[in-house]
Amino acid sequence: MSSSISTNLDNSSGQPKRPQTKRHSSKMNAVVRYSQANPVSPQAQTETLEMLSFLDVFNDELEDALGLVLPNAHLRMVLHLLHGNFEGKIVTASSLIGASRVPYATANRRMKEMVDEGLIELRPRTRTGKSFSMHPSETLLAQWMQLSGRLRRIASAEFGGQSEPEVTKDYYFGGSYAAAQSIPPLRVLPEPLKVAGGIRVLVHGDPTFMVMDNLKRQFEQVIGTNISQRAFSIDRLREEALRNAQRDRSRYDIIAVDLPWIGEFAEKEVLMPLEQVMDLSRLDPADFHTAGWKAGHWGGRAYGVPAQTTPELLFYRRDMFAEAGLEPPATTKDLLLAAKTLHDPRRGRSGIAWNAARGTALGHTVLMTLADFGQPILDLPRIAGGFDTDHLAEGNYHATIDTDAGLQAAEFLMELLNYSPPDILSMSWYERVRPYAGGSIAMAYGYTLLAPYFELDETSPAYGQTGYLPHPAGPGASPVAPVGGYVMGIPANLAPDRIPAAIEALTVFTSPEAQKLYVQNGSRTNSRYSVSSDPEVRSISPIFEAVDGMSWRDELQFWPRPPVPEICDIIQICGEEFHDMLRGIATPRVALLQAQARADALIRKTQ
């Protein structure tokens, strides 16, 4: 390794090699055994972060109070590395050197010493292997966890205070799924599934399910039988699922279902309630993001298991924001200011892209924009953290479009139009993200499943420069990350003799091991807390930590698209009326009035 580690890393002029000595190897094996036997719980992570923060502040005070005390480069870099690890932030050689608070050459030497000692692990950030991120090794993590505990005990003994009983230390909410430990690889089932013709699956043709298709051979080895997968566009997928429900026997063992369809598919008996055919506790329901798990329910019964939970977020170019001196937008006002500032048609750059194509695409935008201003599309009762959807199966709901919040949402979209690409009114799902990946858009609303367009393309200007936020909120509202994605369910008309195999395959496809495998092979969706807590997953993309944080803050919500049977038609109505508004054919008030009238008539007809 060069003596100038940071130069090699930052300028991609070489590929540092990690030392491979027997001393380090044996130490690492011992630490791996320690890590497996002592997984880091969320409470332990919290206590560790508290200790790290204390030592940061303590060092500051010590160095400021006593001028003779010089910065300890090793300790400063250790603290920075551990902060990055436990907070899921990428640490580079440059940031590590900056954290050391010593001259560049000295910091470089100290960093090399830590690498040689096996305390720092280097992981390639690009396919070329010329750029690296810095991570605490298992050795450093194990030593630090032991030290952190000792420091707490020493402080308690020296300064007094009653220690917590062990039962309290070991208890924490969500402990069964949030431990920061590595999820093992998929294991082959003890006995192969015995089902004629193999497992047949109907899915959406998006990046995550295409990753699953690419891994088909591996999954076939796991379940012991062939897998036949058919993929359709979103509209054709719904049509095929409904058509399949009319057959005497289902052609598919498992079908992927868009979250808003759950109510319709339950009422029309497209899907069977899962508790009728399996023990739901096998799935570890608490491990799923709450919004994703609840979205698969109708009338208190589970009809699907989350296969991908993919909220719609605001993607923004961190480098463009920094250059313009802008803060990440937290409100719709901030968003409009940023879009206006960064909109520069003469340079071929637009401020923002979003779903604005007529019909389904724009309809989704309307519902999510209503949510940004604090209002659902239906008169849902308000509860802590959002709105209640548990009683939708009872009916007695009506549309809430032509309201004060609806007018605010409509006027917001009209203003957003000023800072959008010229072809915005034909942009939908993929079209809004492709130009963002190409560098001609500063911000874009997009589902996390679309992030591979720029996260996996090193030539994209957005590669490594994208920040992830929930939807900025309107006045008096809270940030929301509207949940999208798919659950996997069992067709109600599946032949009884195929149901046991379908249940086993469904359990495998939605398991933490499978979810991690999808991520490792390019997916940017995830349904489980345990997967987003996995250190390897967090090191792949910052999107997982971002979504995990949104879930814990109750920003991940599925009420913006309540899964009532009429929702697809309501979305279509909004997408038509608001498109006329954006084209200048109708005023915002007229668009709201007409959308409300059509939605009211639809709901009266179906209830």
pLDDT at 160: 56
- Work out the number of other CB atoms within 10 angstroms of the CB of residue 436: 27
The rounded percent of the chain whose pLDDT value lies above 70 is 84
Which candidate, 565, 553, 560, 573, places its Cα nearest to that of 607?
Answer: 565
- The tokens describing 373, both together, are 């201003």
Number of H helices and number of E strands within the chain? 26, 17
Instruction: Tell me the backbone φ, ψ of residue 344, rounded to 5 degrees.
Output: -145, 80
Let me know if 71 is exposed, middle or buried by CB neighbors in 10 A (0-12, 13-18, 19+): middle
C-alpha to C-alpha distance for 558 and 551, rounded to whole angstroms: 11
C-alpha to C-alpha distance for 441 and 432, rounded to whole angstroms: 9
C-alpha to C-alpha distance for 101 and 121, rounded to whole angstroms: 21
Bridge partners of 221?
none
Taking the mean position of all CA atoms in its chain, how far away is CA 338?
A: 24
Q: What confidence category does residue 15 fall into, taking pLDDT thresholds of 50, 70 and 90?
A: very low
C-alpha to C-alpha distance for 350 and 454, rounded to whole angstroms: 17
Q: What confidence category does residue 192 fall into, taking pLDDT thresholds of 50, 70 and 90?
A: very high
Of the listed ranges 202-216, 258-272, 394-408, 593-607, the one predicted with least confidence = 202-216
- pLDDT > 90? residue 381: yes
3-state secondary structure of 502: helix
Contacts of 345 (CB under 8 A, 6+ apart): none
pLDDT tens across 124-172, in order?
766 666 677 888 887 887 777 767 766 766 776 666 544 443 333 332 3
Q: Is 464 left (phi over 0), alpha (psi -120 to 50) or beta?
A: left
3-state secondary structure of 304: coil
pLDDT at 540: 93
CA distances in angstroms from 568 to 156, 258, 291, 590, listed in the order given: 59, 11, 20, 22
pLDDT at 179: 43
- pLDDT > 70? residue 180: no
202-229: average pLDDT: 91
Longest pairwise C-alpha distance within the chain: 84
Of the listed ranges 90-104, 175-189, 543-557, the one predicted with least confidence = 175-189
Taking the mean position of all CA atoms in its chain, how far away is CA 163?
A: 37
For the chain, which domains are there?
Answer: 5-170 (1.10.10.10), 199-310+484-524 (3.40.190.10), 312-479+566-606 (3.40.190.10)
- The tokens describing 152, both together, are 């707490």
Tell me which amino acid residue 160 is: G
- pLDDT > 60? residue 174: no
Which candidate, 219, 207, 400, 214, places its Cα nearest to that of 308?
Answer: 207
- The tokens describing 355, both together, are 């779903």
Residue 110: which H helix or E strand, with range? Answer: helix 104-116
Q: Which residues of 351-374 are buried (b: 16+ CB within 10 A; e: fewer)?
A: bbbbbbbbbbbbbbbbbbbbbbbb
pLDDT at 34: 32
- Do residues 205 and 233 touch, judged by C-beta distance below 8 A? yes
pLDDT at 1: 37
424-429: average pLDDT: 94
pLDDT at 25: 38
- The tokens describing 407, both together, are 């007018």
- Do residues 571 and 363 touch, judged by C-beta distance below 8 A? yes
- pLDDT > 50? residue 518: yes
Contacts of 88 (CB under 8 A, 6+ apart): 538, 542, 544, 545
470-483: average pLDDT: 96
- Do residues 257 and 487 touch, judged by C-beta distance below 8 A? yes
- Do residues 433 and 361 touch, judged by C-beta distance below 8 A? no
Reported as half-sphere exposure (CB side, CA atoms, 13 A), residue 145 has a value of 21
pLDDT tens across 294-315, in order?
999 999 999 999 999 999 999 9
- pLDDT > 90? residue 68: no
C-alpha to C-alpha distance for 214 and 287, rounded to whole angstroms: 26
